[in-house]
Amino acid sequence: MNKLFPLSVLLLACAAAQATDMMMPDGSKDMYVGMALATRTVAAGEERRVLLRPLLQVQWSNGVFVSASGVAGLHLSDTPGLEYGPLLAASNARQPTDSWRLRGSQPVQGKADGGAFFNYYLGSETRVLSNLFYDTSAHGLRGYVGVQKALNLEDPHHSLAVMAGAHWASSPVMRELYSVSAAAGGVRDYRPDGSLNSVSLGLEWNWALSRQWLVHSGVSATRLGHGAADSPVVERRSFMSWSSGLAYRF
Amino acid sequence: MRRYAIAAAIATGIARAGITAVVRASATTVARVLAACVLLCWPLWGAAQEEQDWIAYRDAYRQMIWFEKYGKPKQFLQSHFRIRPREKGVSMDGLRLSLNSRNIHQSLTLDALGRAVFPFSKVAYDDNAELTLNRKASQFRTGAWVSIATRADGVYAAADLRTACEQMLAYLQYTGGAQGKVCVGVQFSYQRNEQRNEQRNEQAELVFQSAGGASSALAVREGPAFPDDVQSGFRIIAYRFAAYPEHGRLVSSSVPLAIAALLE
């Protein structure tokens, strides 16, 4: 009944954990390995470049899953239509000296963040996705809520899914990412509060060439909330990111 | 040929994914070679696709396991992997389904409604097996199909059929369908048999026997076995709960092809 493809939003810019079900025989795994061209996830002050990135997603029957996007987690639900469990997510380190735009900003430690995910299926083609993380660098919370819907296609070898969602961050997280101090060399003082960080809309397309080979492509549009967009470190309020790659299913 | 077909498909996939510009800028020659492969191999690949098609076993498994893991009452229900035509005119005659991998080559028997007992197999899952179809898969809808179980003795208690319909409704609602619907009856379907002899034709297919002993034959008409199917031409008999006493039983003179829940 579940028509959402397991290799979902692997490379979309949002860091939402996309867990697959552990609906498989005991001791089995479902693994995708490949390479993709992708625009780098755009955060404050980063350059947008096309990079060659690994594609990896593994799901084991014991509920553990990892992906190359830096997310690992554990499925605790044994009920179809319901997914929840703990999550670990890698985060990128950043220094004020990394780029001229980041002058006066706070350093960001690249420590793993811990959290949890909760996904709920509204029928076989739509699911609500959510996660909540404790940011170990900023010592604050950040979360995501979104909806993913699979679109019905005649050709069973193609699958399309649209996704819309919103990221929220508490004051410590927003300040670590977006605050600027003139005294520390920034263009002006800026100190945001906890708020909506961004909203995003994405489209994913999977083309199964055979039962082993798969072309995975995704495009997403992101618009930053006021708290982020008003920061001197942010170059653009809205941006697009995309990825496309080839994976082998083991 | 298989390798070329994959290379061609990969090249097309990359181009369609909208990154042609990147390929052009970095490796024009490679792109040209791949494009040539596409042109050379596309007809061969297309021809191969006409003959047979595949469905990833793991994806089918994920759909089929929902019913297996369903924890509410389901003793009157049965689950199949079903292949049904998307449009009228797509014939089911000669349609064959098999499970294939390194270690498994198994033919799966399809009934007249395109249903097969799904083989839950760890070996097939670990092999990343495929369900092979001897037609284009895009002509059909494939996936899990739950219906009311038939009985070999042909005797169905009216109360059991009501419970079966309620179990069906609960399961469909659990999987996200049939919202706001209620059970109004069940529908038996039988194969239309041109060879039936006169004597058999006169015998009622399905009879309702009330608790008091009175019996009445249910009306037969022609139609699809399941309300939303495009495949039609079966002998179908609707047993609407409201039209008959609550207590009693239905007696079928032969094993029906299927029993569908009527939800309105």
- Label residue A91 by pLDDT band (50, 70, 90): confident
ipTM of predicted complex = 0.80
Q: Which of B128, B140, B142, B146 to mutate against chain A (most A CBs within 10 Å)?
A: B128
A102 lies in some domain: yes
Once rounded to an integer, what is the mean pLDDT over residues A37-50?
Answer: 67
Reading the block at residue A70, the tokens are 């830096």
The number of folded domains in chain A is 1
In a domain, A2, yes or no: no
Place of tokens 């015998």: B203
Q: Which CATH number belongs to the domain containing residue A158 in this structure?
A: 2.40.160.40
Task: Tell me if A250 and B144 make a contact (CB, 8 A cut-off).
Answer: no
* CA nearest to A6 within chain B: B59
State yes or no: pLDDT of A200 exceeds 90: yes
Give residue A46's identity as a one-letter amino acid code: E
Structural domain that includes position A111: 29-249
CB atoms within 10 A of CB B249: 17
Q: CA-nearest residue of chain B to A153?
A: B138
Residue B2's closest chain A neighbor by CA?
A210
Q: Please check whether residue A110 lies inside any domain of the structure.
A: yes
Our CA dihedral for B57, A203, A218, A6, rounded to 10 degrees, sits at -20
- B194 versus A201: the higher-pLDDT residue is A201
3-state secondary structure of A237: coil
- Residue-averaged pLDDT of chain A: 86
Residue A25 is nearest to which of B10, B18, B122, comparing CB atoms? Answer: B122
Q: Is A3 part of a structural domain of the chain?
A: no
Cβ-contact B252, B206 below 8 angstroms: yes
Residue A16 lies in a domain: no
Percent with pLDDT over 90 in chain A: 63
Segment B9-13 long-range contacts (CB within 8 Å, at least 24 positions apart) = B9/A209, B9/A213, B9/B45, B10/A209, B10/A213, B10/A215, B10/A246, B10/B34, B11/B35, B11/B37, B11/B38, B12/B38, B13/A207, B13/A209, B13/A215, B13/A246
Whether A162 is covered by a domain: the verdict is yes
SS3 B60: helix
Instruction: Find residue A246's DSSP bridge partners.
Output: A35, A215
H-helix or E-strand containing A121?
Answer: strand A113-121
Q: Which among A121, A242, A250 has the least Cβ separation from residue B176?
A: A121
d(CA B79, CA B66): 10
Condensed to tens digits (0 to 9), the pLDDT of residues A47-74 reads 567 889 899 999 999 999 999 888 999 9
How far is Cα A63 from Cα B69, in angstroms, rounded to an integer?
16
Cβ-based neighbours of B151, under 8 Å, separated by 6 or more: B255
A244 with B19: Cβ contact below 8 A: yes
> In which band, very low, low, confident or very high, does the pLDDT at A41 lie, cut at 50, 70 and 90?
low
Q: Is residue A24 assigned to a domain?
A: no
B20 to chain A, any CB pair closer than 8 A? The answer is no
Specify the pLDDT at position B81: 97
Q: How many CB atoms lie within 10 A of CB A195?
A: 15
Query: How far is A23 from B120, CA to CA, in rounded Å?
Result: 12
Contacts of A8 (CB under 8 A, 6+ apart): A18, A20, A148, A161, A204
Which distant-in-sequence residues (6+ apart) come within 8 Å of B99 by Cβ? Answer: B57, B105, B106, B108, B119, B121, B124, B129, B130, B131, B132
* Rg (chain A; Cα; Å): 18
CA neighbor of B154 nearest in space, from B207, B75, B94: B207
Model-level pTM? 0.79
pLDDT band, residue A15 (cuts 50/70/90): very low
- The pLDDT confidence band at residue A77, using thresholds 50, 70 and 90, is confident
Q: What is the mean pLDDT of residues A175-193?
A: 93
pLDDT for res B175:
83
Q: Which residues have C-beta within 8 Å of that of residue B98, sequence separation ≥ 6?
A: B105, B106, B107, B108, B131, B132
Would you give per-residue pLDDT tens digits along chain B (264 residues)? 333 333 333 333 333 333 333 333 444 554 555 555 555 555 445 444 457 899 999 999 988 998 998 889 999 999 999 999 999 889 899 999 999 999 999 999 999 999 999 999 999 999 999 999 999 999 999 999 999 999 999 999 999 999 999 999 999 988 878 889 999 999 999 988 765 544 455 567 899 999 888 899 999 999 999 998 999 989 999 999 999 999 999 999 999 999 999 999
